Structure 1
């Protein structure tokens, strides 16, 4: 089965994502790089990929728990799903042991999403991300800025770089 997939990503360092974007559009740039284009695509029953764990610093984000730490999380997915009646279906791609191929895992659509509480929706998204990274936490992008910006009055959670690539999910090193 083949589906057209739209992406909010304009450039990716992940070879798998870049390859998919090239095959779909002939480039790594998305033809839908704004919310209007994404909303239009979804209303036409299109498929859109949107990274919920990339921080946006504005009124469209809140701090929601992620592995026991408050993390900046976008409200956009909840709002887009409400406006378009779209399902939110988490997926993951995992690099195989040969370091050349990937396994794609499609998770069930989020239940009761969007809810009447956008902040609760952000927590649901974070739980989905937690499930996605569970098999390979060492491969998660722990250094993204959503952990560096803190709620007012909270101490930074940035610590020294680990000596090994593994990061314990119960004691994340950011």
Structure 2
């Protein structure tokens, strides 16, 4: 995709409210980082109170995935999760608009050599990430140290789409934004020896998915990771990220490539991925995106969960 360009149509009066809102947000994110995280916690508390649909989905997911916790423990985790989501609201413009040097001070990156090794060997890398609430700022922090291509879905509002892409791509001068459905472009990028961000941990429907356990529950799991790794001749390199307490920034961990992947079957690969995701979600459950309907698609004959 071509780089986003400003268009005179963006100045149409119908876009003025959005410009005003973006301008106000730009002013707010000039505050110190710790102040923004405090604001994020407050925003999360408001979301917990008023976003009833998302609260129901997240609570249901926690009931399914952490049955051993008491009701009080799950409710505490739910509140912490909404606080994390509120912080993510401010992490997005931080990653778009903070000066690069100021942003870089938040990063603690481990295992970058795994991406560098793949690049040195001329082999593509599927950077297998998870949908933590820190996703946006994590990609920006890593993008300052290693070029990453990404899957992209155009936003419905052209002004917001312009601002979003401009903010994301400033960290990767030579990065490519690939339409989510453009498989050929993704394979081309991988075969060229580049790294591409990809997250297989959401429910994308029955098509191209298999039902394998996730937290002990059959979950529609995409088989694309196996296909991309095989056809793109790429390594699958997992990545996790975590917001540190006390305003100390973020730990980004690039894990060693998955060995013997793809394996004997797509089902075995999907199960392996889900087990890996589950293990790392358990390590930091309050920062995972529980508001997503992970178990929306059900096997034939099973009742709806949400």
Question: Who is 1:85 aligned against?
Answer: 233
- Structure 1 residue 5 corresponds to structure 2 residue 153: no
- Structure 1 residue 32 corresponds to structure 2 residue 203: no
Distance of 1:105 and 1:62 partners within structure 2:
28
> Could you say if the C-alpha distance between residues 21 and 91 of structure 1 is closer, same or farther in structure 2, counting changes exceeding 3 Å?
farther
The structure with the larger Rg is 2
Distance of 2:243 and 2:154 partners within structure 1:
19
Structure with bigger RCO (C-alpha 8 Å, 6+ apart): 2
Verify the 8 A CA contact 2:211 2:220 in the aligned structure 1.
Answer: yes
**Structure 1, unpaired ranges of 5+:** 13-17, 159-174
1:44-78 residue CA offsets vs partner (Å, 9 max, x unmatched):
11001111012222431111111101111111110
Verify the 8 A CA contact 2:208 2:223 in the aligned structure 1.
Answer: yes
- How far did 1:4 drift? 1.7
The size of the alignment, in residue pairs, is 151
- Structure 1 residue 129 corresponds to structure 2 residue 277: yes
**Structure 2, unpaired ranges of 5+:** 1-115, 117-144, 156-165
- Structure 1 residue 117 corresponds to structure 2 residue 274: no
> Could you say if the C-alpha distance between residues 126 and 99 of structure 1 is closer, same or farther in structure 2, counting changes exceeding 3 Å?
farther
Verify the 8 A CA contact 2:237 2:256 in the aligned structure 1.
Answer: yes
Distance of 1:51 and 1:131 partners within structure 2:
15
Distance of 2:205 and 2:305 partners within structure 1:
18
Distance of 2:287 and 2:265 partners within structure 1:
31
Verify the 8 A CA contact 2:206 2:220 in the aligned structure 1.
Answer: no
- How far did 1:20 drift? 5.6
